[in-house]
Structure 1
Amino acid sequence: MPFPESKRWIVAATTLSAALLWSAPAWVHPHVFAEASLEVKLDHSHNVSSLRHVWRFDDLFSSTVLVEFDTNKDLKLDEAELAEVSKTIFESLAEYNYFQLVEADGKDVAMNAPDHLIATLEDNQLIVLFESKPKAPFPLSGKIDFGVYDPTFYTAIDFTEDDNMKVDALPTSCKRQVIRPDPDEAISQNQATLTDEFFNDPAGTDMSKIFATKLEITCQAQG
């Protein structure tokens, strides 16, 4: 699967992870895997103030990043090398809205780019942390969906436990539910809009969000 040179932070893992499979239909072949957590922060008026993301990548990809960015060959990533990892990931994810899914009543919510991104290596695993904020005031009302997905299907980012997706100080008028779509059911329900171009376009498409795990928040109107 061809990718621009700017995507070198993930391209390097292609040949090393070809044997890995994700629990999804046969045409989906992610090469990079990460466990994620997402915390939604609210202000005093119950507006969404920020989204805090933490991604912990698999050992295979983490070791690939170590090899590629360890410029002084001391088998670890020092502060300067980690800064280069952070910069590369930050720039590579910009055109994909940092893999974020944020919807209010089915419509996309515009998000500002994170101010920065932090990459660390802990227990030989690459960890990425960043925080993003809505472009405009965003009240927690109606039905709100939060999630993470890669439109290219190259990276599988999963929330292994429901508690890894949460809203800080969720109002009592709101209910939370973690939605984990069944891939086959998602394809069946969206068959009319899924074309050959969708399955073969390396640039990705927003339609891939139908497979994303989502934190669904439903809030009743305050009387």
Structure 2
Amino acid sequence: MRRPSTLALAASLFVGLLPFQKAEAHPHVFAEARLEVVVNPDQTVKALRHVWRFDDVFSSTVVMEFDKNGDLKLDDTEMAEVSKTIFDSLGEYKYFQLVTVDGKDAAMKPPPQLIAQYQDEQLIVLFESEPAQPLRLKGKVDFGVYDPTFYTAIDFTDDKELVVDNMPSACTKSVIRPDPDEAIAQNQGTLTEAFFNDPTGTDMSKIFATKLELNCPA
């Protein structure tokens, strides 16, 4: 079985299509996440700050693919190439960000840059993005991370990894961890036959995503 190319590696991370196999509808890559919602004094969202720490197996694969000089580590130039490859690959998928206001999607700007690091044998990805339009905290506002292809499982291992900086005192927050069976039952009317045959790329995986939910008075 031949090694995937650099671009194919990026695709396998965030799209799930290797040149020699079709992705199945379950995760192949795993990452632990941290999300910080930064709020302005006027109760609008300033930015979302993401940190993703990938599993050891995938992290080792990244080193093997991008280690061009064969020294078994990634120097600054090689890490910059990792950052660029992931940044370019995630663009089509809105950087896996889930933001809704009373159930309606809220657009986020592409992050100005994405930083990849390699620490303690793990690949770490960091980036920050801002709302495309002013996003005021009122009603029910949800924040999360999900991969519409089902290839990458990015989750929050502890509720404390979902935080709000400068949360208004009138707001309340909770962490929602949907039960898959309940999520399917509650969304039966909107799930199509195509989803059940092949859920990859249907954008419905967001119903299974762990979310930070803020409820704020109007």
On the 8 A contact 2:25/2:200 being kept in 1, the answer is: no
* SS of alignment partner, residue 191 of structure 1: coil
- Structure-1 residue corresponding to 2:71: 74
- Cα RMSD for the two superposed structures: 2.2
- Structure-1 residue corresponding to 2:163: 166
Aligned length: 208
TM-score by length of structure 2 reads: 0.89
Against the structure 1 CA distance between its residues 169 and 160, is the aligned structure 2 distance closer, same or farther, given a 3 Å change threshold? same
Alignment of 1:33-182 (within 5 A): 33-182=30-179
- Structure-1 residue corresponding to 2:211: 214
Gaps of at least 5 residues in structure 2 are 1-5
Distance 1:193 1:139 in 2: 28
Q: Deviations over 1:94-126 (max 9, x none)?
A: 000000000111111111000000000000000
Worse overlay, 72-81 or 181-190: 181-190
Distance 2:147 2:197 in 1: 14
Distance 2:74 2:213 in 1: 37
Between the aligned residues of both structures, percent identity stands at 65
Deviation of the 1:86 alpha carbon: 0.3
Deviation of the 1:34 alpha carbon: 0.2
On the 8 A contact 1:14/1:31 being kept in 2, the answer is: no
Distance 1:40 1:91 in 2: 24
Deviation of the 1:81 alpha carbon: 0.4
On the 8 A contact 2:8/2:17 being kept in 1, the answer is: no
Against the structure 1 CA distance between its residues 197 and 7, is the aligned structure 2 distance closer, same or farther, given a 3 Å change threshold? farther
Residue type of the alignment partner of 1:8? L
Distance 1:77 1:177 in 2: 39
Distance 2:125 2:141 in 1: 25
* SS of alignment partner, residue 189 of structure 2: helix
On the 8 A contact 2:40/2:166 being kept in 1, the answer is: no
Deviation of the 1:193 alpha carbon: 2.6
- Structure-1 residue corresponding to 2:186: 189
Q: Deviations over 1:149-183 (max 9, x none)?
A: 00000000010010101110111100000000001
Question: Structure 1 residue runs of 4+, over 6 Å off?
Answer: 12-15
Q: Deviations over 1:176-223 (max 9, x none)?
A: 0000000111112222332342244475122110000000000123xx
Residue type of the alignment partner of 1:104? V
Distance 1:9 1:206 in 2: 20
* SS of alignment partner, residue 204 of structure 2: helix
On the 8 A contact 1:69/1:85 being kept in 2, the answer is: yes
* SS of alignment partner, residue 192 of structure 1: coil
On the 8 A contact 1:62/1:126 being kept in 2, the answer is: yes
- Structure-2 residue corresponding to 1:11: 12
Residue type of the alignment partner of 2:10? W
Against the structure 1 CA distance between its residues 210 and 132, is the aligned structure 2 distance closer, same or farther, given a 3 Å change threshold? same
TM-score by length of structure 1 reads: 0.87
- Structure-2 residue corresponding to 1:23: none
Residue type of the alignment partner of 1:125? Q
